[in-house]
Amino acid sequence: MALLDAGKLPQALKKAQLGIKKFPNDSDYQAIAGFVLTEMKQYRKSIPHFVEASRMKPDDPQFAENLANALMQTEQISRALAYAEKKIEKFPNNRELMRVIDEIQREGKNWRSIVEFTTHKLTSDPDNPELLAKRARAYHHMGFVEESTLDIQRAYDLAPENTVVAFQKAVNLHQAGDKEGSLKILGDILEVKPHHPNALLQVATMTAKDTVPQFIAAVEDSMAEHDEPLQELEFAKAHLIQKGDDLATAMPQFKRANAVQHEILPYDFAAEEEKLNEILRLFPHGLAELTDVQSDTPVPIFVVGQPRSGTTLMEMMLSSAPDIAGCGELTLMPELSTRFHTSDKVLDAESASGIARYYREQMPQVPAGSVAFVDKLPHNFQRVGFILAAFPNAKIINMLRDPRDVGLSKWIRRFPAGGMNYASNLEAIAHTANLYRRYMSHWDKVFAGRILTMPYEDLVADPLTHSKRIAEFCDIEWHDSMVQPEKNTKQVRTASIDQVRNKISTKSIGGWREVADQIKPMLDGFDRELWPEYDFT
């Protein structure tokens, strides 16, 4: 350890290997050898040592952390994710394991590697429900809805008793609008595993008010089974209190749930500021067009904004038109653009064309005859410059909504997806909201006239007028179905899953006032000069 601390890595490795020979039953020497090899960036060689250390001491989370990280670093993504998620059940609040899971989930290329891995395995084992479930999950994150649904159905037909598969099927049914079918499967899961955290959370967000006492008791029983608080159960209890009483009564429980989540995956304020500066530096005011070549059809429509600002509603309105394909939240643009602001890679006409070409190759296939497709990843507000460099004819719709309503909506939901760790801290919610406005202010100046900002409050108050305005901006034909998005049968895979199944409504506007005292750190964090449309007095 002294040699390791002194940076004398070859000598430390030699000593550790000698220790393994002399003391073969001592896990520490295996772990030290793994540590040294990790410091030497020899991750593949470190794996056998961490495997052995973890075998000797299965109750030591550090060995599990190191093995999960080594698997990820060697791009054994499917193994890394499966292992980390298995171990997180044993060590539920382990920050390093959650970091590995979060990092894997952020990258679309990781999901593609899982698709490739499982597809290869399925050629020799086509009826393996676990492989089908893994591929379905990867397809889901990539935006391949039909492929994901087919795999889930196949896996469920093969193994309806498998709780992992059954849970995926329940979520898939809910996303397709079949809440009754989803609740039936969740009930079956809880019959077998009454303390299943994710099933309890899913039920808590869907169940009717008259069943709240029953599920409150089930959640509290499950809490008693764990030594540490679980974020899924804490959020489940909060949702049930809200349904049984009201939001104000549930706010202390939402605070506890968010505290648990934020402790595991904290938000890095400085890193996000640096990211903004690096991205905006690539797109100065007065920037000339990288290329005047218009991209191919179908035309890309990118819906951006803060999560919970109405981006899902906008996609459902647009994709209600018969010739507009809704692709959900694609992770392609962040993946393809990150290297330009994290390295010395130059963004020029050739690389911009490469982004467009690769994006179209990797995106889900859209129906024949589509004149446009919609990518509604909210955080693409950070990527507008890259989007317009790659797709000169792209349409950008920026959903603007009162940040106080947006912030509250984030606070009372659990976001397991990578990149949403700010949603569990009130100050961080305000910080990211201000960053969003700074990004969009810059893009509006650099790309004047090429972005349509659509205030959520105006849209829901007069959907007819504004849907026509949106259609005109996107250069698409307006259809009356666009003002009835609740009839759209497209799957919804976001936190808006239930809201968009209802008619457009203004009832959620101003909801933050009910609990203003309990979200004061967030309210104090907004830079009022960035939000002139809203009254902060």
DSSP assignment of 170-183 equals HHHHHHTT-HHHHH
Mean pLDDT, residues 8-26 taken together: 93
Q: Is 391 exposed, middle or buried (0-12, 13-18, 19+ CB in 10 A)?
A: buried
pLDDT at residue 189, rounded to an integer: 96
Beta strand pairing call for 299-305 and 324-326: unpaired
The domain ranges of the chain are 2-106, 295-504
User: Would you say the C-alpha torsion 502, 503, 509, 511 has a positive or negative sign?
Assistant: negative
| Angle at the Cα of 402 from the Cα atoms of 396 and 407, rounded to 5 degrees | 100
Q: Does residue 14 carry a pLDDT above 60?
A: yes
Q: Give, as one character, the DSSP assignment of residue 517.
A: G
Residue 14 contacts by C-beta under 8 Å, 6 or more apart in sequence?
Answer: none
pLDDT band for 418, please (50, 70, 90 cuts): low
Do residues 375 and 334 touch, judged by C-beta distance below 8 A?
no
- Which helix (H) or strand (E) segment is 398 a member of? strand 395-400
pLDDT band for 517, please (50, 70, 90 cuts): very high
Residue 466's SS3 state is helix
Do residues 468 and 477 touch, judged by C-beta distance below 8 A?
no
Do residues 29 and 19 touch, judged by C-beta distance below 8 A?
yes
Mean pLDDT, residues 435-440 taken together: 98
pLDDT band for 123, please (50, 70, 90 cuts): very high
pTM for the full predicted model: 0.86
Do residues 139 and 132 touch, judged by C-beta distance below 8 A?
no
pLDDT at residue 246, rounded to an integer: 94
312 closest CA partner among 31, 57, 501, 88: 501
β-pair partners for 400: 455
Q: Does residue 94 carry a pLDDT above 90?
A: no
Segment 245-255, tens digit of pLDDT: 999 999 999 99
Percent of the chain residues past pLDDT 70, beyond the cut: 96
Q: Does residue 137 carry a pLDDT above 60?
A: yes
Mean pLDDT, residues 431-456 taken together: 96
Token match 């290997």: residue? 17
Q: What is the mean pLDDT of the chain?
A: 91
Domains 2-106 and 295-504 share a fold: no
User: Would you say the C-alpha torsion 282, 284, 290, 294 has a positive or negative sign?
Assistant: positive
Segment 274-328, tens digit of pLDDT: 999 999 999 998 777 776 666 678 999 999 999 999 999 999 999 999 899 999 8
Segment 170-217, tens digit of pLDDT: 999 998 888 999 999 999 999 999 999 999 999 999 999 999 999 999
pLDDT at residue 503, rounded to an integer: 72
Do residues 505 and 513 touch, judged by C-beta distance below 8 A?
no
Q: Does residue 496 carry a pLDDT above 70?
A: no
CATH superfamily of 295-504: P-loop containing nucleotide triphosphate hydrolases (3.40.50.300)
Do residues 466 and 482 touch, judged by C-beta distance below 8 A?
no
Give the C-alpha separation, 60 to 217, whole Å.
32
Mean pLDDT, residues 31-52 taken together: 91
Residue 315 contacts by C-beta under 8 Å, 6 or more apart in sequence?
Answer: 303, 326, 328, 374, 376
Segment 360-406, tens digit of pLDDT: 999 998 999 999 999 999 999 999 999 999 999 999 999 999 999 99
Strands (E), 157-223: none
Do residues 164 and 172 touch, judged by C-beta distance below 8 A?
no
pLDDT band for 99, please (50, 70, 90 cuts): confident
Overall fold of domain 2-106: 1.25.40
Q: Is 382 exposed, middle or buried (0-12, 13-18, 19+ CB in 10 A)?
A: buried
Give the C-alpha separation, 133 to 213, whole Å.
33
pLDDT band for 407, please (50, 70, 90 cuts): very high
Q: Does residue 499 carry a pLDDT above 60?
A: no
Q: Does residue 489 carry a pLDDT above 70?
A: no
pLDDT at residue 201, rounded to an integer: 96
Q: Which residue has the higher pLDDT, 103 or 159?
A: 159
Residue 215 contacts by C-beta under 8 Å, 6 or more apart in sequence?
Answer: 200, 203, 204, 207, 236, 240
